[in-house]
């Protein structure tokens, strides 16, 4: 069974600001999560142009995230099974990420993202068929909230209380109830997640776990985008790329795309 869910993450940023914020967030979160045994290796990073996305950056990465595996998964696979291979096509404001696991050869996780300058109320931005729409659950993620489930514990939390937070550089915040309908600027990342794990006995459970994991990752990464606004605000894309070149050994020429 293929599981499909659309997440809508509303942000108090412009489309142009979000592109910088996302790149900064990806760089910082990857630095924080890497150590001697786990982390992210960038295998390929190059310019691409095609008829589907237009122009953008293609990246190929390997994620070594063994400690993130749910305990129950060890009954079906060794610890090293959670080595993930990712291909991403970043043609902002449209992006696509495909994640596979060499151990589970039939497994795929696809994230298709469209960014729009609205507050999350656009319908069917991914142009799904009526059957797909009927099967697809939609959830609006509020970055002003936090979660306390398994995946949020694994991914971590920055602990910022956005009901009291105010950016020094932009004056934005706090984010109080209903902020999505009142703030300017505003934009939304529409993320369509499709998981296919056709394995008898645990496939459905794996699909549900991965959807929950992606939700927690989307929430925390976008919370970080705003929490770190005074760090990245005013930076240019060139500045962030220069920082990446200095801080990421496997970095090649351009900034890293991301499923976040």
Torsion sign across C-alpha atoms 34, 39, 44, 47: negative
Nearest alpha carbon to residue 19 among 241, 253, 247, 248:
241
Residue 133's SS3 state is helix
Does residue 139 lie in a domain region?
yes
pLDDT tens digit sequence for 89-145: 999 999 999 999 888 889 999 999 999 999 999 999 999 999 999 999 999 999 999
Does residue 175 lie in a domain region?
yes
DSSP string computed for 2-54: EEEEEEEEEESS-HHHHHHHHHHHHHHHHHHH--SSSEEEEEEEEEEEETTTE
Other Cβ atoms less than 10 A from the Cβ of 245: the count is: 14
Does residue 7 lie in a domain region?
no
According to the model, what pLDDT value does residue 79 have?
65
Q: Calculate Rg over the CA atoms of the chain.
A: 18
For the cut 60, the answer to whether the pLDDT of residue 72 exceeds it is no
Which residues lie below 8 Å from residue 149, measured CB to CB, with a gap of 6+? 212, 216
Does residue 29 lie in a domain region?
yes
φ, ψ dihedrals at 61, nearest 5°: -135, 160
pLDDT tens digit sequence for 19-71: 999 999 988 888 777 665 667 788 998 999 999 899 999 999 998 765 556 65
Q: Structure pTM?
A: 0.89
Q: Where are the beta strands (DSSP E) in 102-170?
A: 104-116, 137-141
pLDDT tens digit sequence for 132-162: 999 999 999 999 998 877 777 778 888 899 9
Q: Which domain holds residue 176?
A: 15-115+127-189+203-247
Does residue 258 lie in a domain region?
no
Does residue 5 lie in a domain region?
no
Instruction: Tell me the CATH number at 222.
Output: 3.30.530.20
Does residue 96 lie in a domain region?
yes
Q: How many domains does the chain fold into?
A: 1
Does residue 89 lie in a domain region?
yes
Cis ω for the linkage preceding 93 (within 30 of 0):
yes
């Amino acid at each position: 069974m293929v599981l499909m869910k659309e997440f809508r993450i509303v942000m108090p940023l412009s489309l142009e600001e979000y592109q910088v914020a996302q790149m900064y967030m990806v760089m910082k979160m990857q630095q924080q999560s890497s150590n001697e045994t786990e982390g992210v290796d960038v295998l390929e990073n190059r310019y691409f142009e095609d008829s589907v996305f237009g122009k953008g950056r293609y990246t190929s990465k390997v994620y070594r995230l063994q400690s993130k595996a749910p305990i129950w998964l060890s009954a079906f696979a060794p610890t090293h099974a959670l080595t993930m291979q990712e291909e991403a096509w970043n043609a902002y404001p449209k992006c696509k990420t495909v994640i596979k696991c060499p151990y589970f050869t039939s497994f795929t996780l696809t994230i298709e993202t469209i960014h729009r300058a609205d507050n999350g109320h656009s319908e069917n931005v991914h142009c799904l068929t009526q059957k797909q729409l009927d099967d697809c659950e939609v959830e609006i993620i509020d970055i002003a909230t936090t979660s306390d489930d398994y995946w949020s514990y694994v991914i971590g939390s920055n602990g910022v209380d956005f009901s009291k937070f105010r950016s020094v550089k932009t004056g934005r915040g706090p984010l109080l109830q209903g902020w999505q309908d009142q703030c300017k600027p505003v934009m939304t990342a529409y993320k369509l997640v499709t998981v296919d794990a056709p394995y008898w006995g645990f496939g459905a459970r794996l699909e549900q776990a991965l959807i929950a994991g992606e939700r927690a990752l989307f929430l925390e990464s976008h919370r970080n985008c705003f929490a770190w606004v005074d760090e990245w605000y005013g930076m240019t894309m060139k500045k962030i790329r220069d920082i990446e070149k200095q801080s990421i050994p496997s970095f090649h020429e351009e900034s890293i795309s991301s499923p976040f």
